[in-house]
């Protein structure tokens, strides 16, 4: 089916048939005095200001609740916040670690964004990241001492993205063939992926020259992701930014992205319009899984250098929160991923300086998510009610 056969209500506007805008400076031209564009721009700026204000209020509410919890644990909130600020945002190594942790979080969040555009819920980022790391580790074990480092990196990227896509594709096929909800199947497949990793590092891929711990052999130095300049931030963060730009363009400016939006908004209408709904849903999950697989490769080749238990440190679940925090907006996800990465790094201060449990950082993340989503949803609902 061609784009021209899609009914008008499902077709993007045709720029060639649109009326030309008034000449600059003419009455009614954009930006001219008295034109509708001027108050519209002011309205947009006011809307942005109100949005930022709601975000600030929501974050403030989350911190208030967190302060109460700190008091309940006998900690001094002022001392805790001062230590967190000093150790996280005034310390160069900590700032670099924020960007290092944000790389897999950003890619994992994009793995949720793309399926969400088609109305799918991908909770399997954790498993897809693990499978991507496993695929990259397998390539490393097979070729890192036989091929050049650059070629090994390329092979690891391809293998990780293919493995992540295949893992997510299984959930999509279950949804399309037997009707199993993808949120359930992707969540359960996380545990299967972890079991595959454990089997490999406990048996066939266990490093025979290691210390006895269940890990694979370390990645050869030429195949490790290079650092950016003199910093500790590896090039994986650049991969994540490039992926964000590509996803934004695909979802915003391509027919594929437009059709995903149609399916996510009204799948039944999309079917009646003749869109290949099943193929589009499958493609959305495949792209999401590929991005999560890339996250696994980035973390493996940029930080860990070997497969081990707990290699992903719940990146998939935190990335899921980042996507929802950003309302599945590809550009906003960058900010959400950096924010959650900062909270993760701040967790070290909460444990070491304040003596709080490791779960404290998860509580703070949960409070931020609930506050932001709950507050904005309440405001939106109230606006609709009016």
Give the max Cα distance, the chain.
79
Which residue, among 357, 303, 328, 366, has the nearest Cα to 104 in the 3D structure? 303
Q: Please tell me the predicted confidence (pLDDT) of residue 346.
A: 84
Q: Are 347 and 361 within 8 A, CB to CB?
A: yes
Q: Please tell me the predicted confidence (pLDDT) of residue 10.
A: 46
Q: Are 177 and 291 within 8 A, CB to CB?
A: no
- CA-to-CA distance for 135 and 156, rounded, in angstroms? 7
Compute CA 204 distance to the chain's CA centroid, rounded to the nearest angstrom. Answer: 32
pTM confidence score: 0.82
Tally of CB atoms within 10 A around 197: 25
DSSP tag of 308: B
Tally of CB atoms within 10 A around 89: 13
Q: Are 223 and 144 within 8 A, CB to CB?
A: yes
| Helix orientation angle between 255-265 and 92-117, rounded to the nearest 10 degrees | 70
* Residue 226: half-sphere exposure toward Cβ, Cα within 13 Å: 6
171: tokens are 């959930």
- CA-to-CA distance for 298 and 101, rounded, in angstroms? 10
Q: Please tell me the predicted confidence (pLDDT) of residue 170.
A: 96
- CATH number, domain 68-379, options 1.10.3470, 2.30.30, 1.20.1440, 3.40.50: 1.10.3470
Query: Taking the chain (386 residues) in consecutive chunks of 10 residues, what is each chunk's mean pLDDT?
Result: 45 45 51 55 63 71 84 82 84 91 95 94 94 95 84 95 96 93 94 94 87 87 91 93 96 93 87 89 96 96 91 87 89 91 83 74 80 61 43
Q: Please tell me the predicted confidence (pLDDT) of residue 326.
A: 86
DSSP tag of 30: T
């Amino acid at each position: 089916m061609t784009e021209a056969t899609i009914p008008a209500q499902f077709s993007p506007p045709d720029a060639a048939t649109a009326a030309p805008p008034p000449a600059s400076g003419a009455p009614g031209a954009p930006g001219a005095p008295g034109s509708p564009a001027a108050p519209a721009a002011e309205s947009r700026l006011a809307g942005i200001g109100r949005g930022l204000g709601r975000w600030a209020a929501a974050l403030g509410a989350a911190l208030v609740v967190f302060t109460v919890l700190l008091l309940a644990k006998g900690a001094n909130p002022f001392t805790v916040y001062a230590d967190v600020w000093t150790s996280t945002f005034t310390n160069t190594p900590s700032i670099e670690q924020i960007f290092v942790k944000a790389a897999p979080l950003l890619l994992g969040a994009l793995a949720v964004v793309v399926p969400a555009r088609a109305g799918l819920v991908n909770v399997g980022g954790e498993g897809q990241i693990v499978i991507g790391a496993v695929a990259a580790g397998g390539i490393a074990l097979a070729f890192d001492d036989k091929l050049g480092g650059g070629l090994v990196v390329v092979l690891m990227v391809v293998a990780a993205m293919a493995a992540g896509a295949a893992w997510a594709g299984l959930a999509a096929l279950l949804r399309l063939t037997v009707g199993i909800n993808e949120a359930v199947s992707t969540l359960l497949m996380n545990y299967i992926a972890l079991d595959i990793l454990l089997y490999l590092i406990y048996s066939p891929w266990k490093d025979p020259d290691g210390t006895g711990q269940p890990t694979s052999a370390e990645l050869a130095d030429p195949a490790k992701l290079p650092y950016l300049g003199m910093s500790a931030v590896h090039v994986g963060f650049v991969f994540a930014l490039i992926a964000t730009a590509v996803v934004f363009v695909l979802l915003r400016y391509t027919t594929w992205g437009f059709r995903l939006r149609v399916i996510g908004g009204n799948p039944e209408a999309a079917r009646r319009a003749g869109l290949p709904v099943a193929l589009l849903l499958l493609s959305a999950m495949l792209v999401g899984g590929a991005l999560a697989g890339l996250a696994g490769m980035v973390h493996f080749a940029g930080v860990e250098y070997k497969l081990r238990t707990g290699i992903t440190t719940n990146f998939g679940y935190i990335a899921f929160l980042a996507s929802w925090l950003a309302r599945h907006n590809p550009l906003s996800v960058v900010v959400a991923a950096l924010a959650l990465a900062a909270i993760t790094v701040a967790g070290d201060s909460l444990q070491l300086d304040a003596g709080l449990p490791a779960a404290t950082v998860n509580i703070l993340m949960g409070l931020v998510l609930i506050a932001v989503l709950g507050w904005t949803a309440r405001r939106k609902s109230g606006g609709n009610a009016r």
